[in-house]
Amino acid sequence: MRDIVDRVRPEVHMALVHHPVHNKTGDIVTTAVTNLDIHDNARSARTFGLSSYHIVTPLSAQIELVRRILGHWTAGYGGKRVPTRLEAMSLIRISRTLDETIEAVIAGRNVKPYIVATGARRRATPVVPYAQLRKRMQEEAGPYLLLFGTGYGLAEPVFDLCDAVLEPIGDPDGWNHLSVRSAAAITLDRLLGER
């Protein structure tokens, strides 16, 4: 019980990056936003007390799609019918670039977030174990920004912006193809869930 009382409540944000990400052949591409990712990641963000959930896409048509979906749940009938979904969807922010997302998290406080990338593959660079980042979050309030990639993962330039890369979930030397929704939920639970 003492552990729960002594911990700080970290300020955590997450971003689902649709560009720049890799496709199956390794090219840098922009992936499509999906309705499932919008809803399920918002629900995970709300469950684990995140401050915001950013959807990063440069495509105007995709931004308009996200706005229409959000409108239904935050200002339309959906939010009246399912208030808990309205709560979750209210955490969503839309950014055209990752830099725009970082600026939104900074938002006048002049404190750069501690940026953490996630991915399914092992990297040559050092990775941070979940236990180490969890401990940091219990001791330092942040802000933190967790990056999740779509397609075949975050493009290499994204890693240049990061302060840390989390260890992969599961068996990175074998079959490791979780949906980003599953990976985000597991990651948030490992970092912020009660133990």
Q: What is the value of pTM for the model shown?
A: 0.92
* pLDDT value at residue 126: 75
The CATH number fitting domain 2-192, selected from 1.10.150.20, 3.90.1150.10, 1.10.510.10, 3.40.1280.10? 3.40.1280.10
How many whole angstroms separate alpha carbon 187 and alpha carbon 87? 21
Is the separation of the CB atoms in 63 and 96 below 8 Å?
yes
Q: What one-letter code names the amino acid at 159?
A: F
* Chain-centre distance for alpha carbon 72: 22
**Interior angle at CA 169, CA 149 and CA 5, nearest 5:** 100
Is the separation of the CB atoms in 86 and 78 below 8 Å?
yes
Confidence of residue 1 (pLDDT cuts 50, 70, 90): very low
Mean pLDDT for 147-157 is 95
pLDDT tens-digit readout, 50-68: 999 999 999 999 999 999 9
* pLDDT value at residue 73: 86
Q: How many angstroms separate the first and last alpha carbons of the chain?
A: 10
How many whole angstroms separate alpha carbon 15 and alpha carbon 30? 15
Is the separation of the CB atoms in 166 and 12 below 8 Å?
no
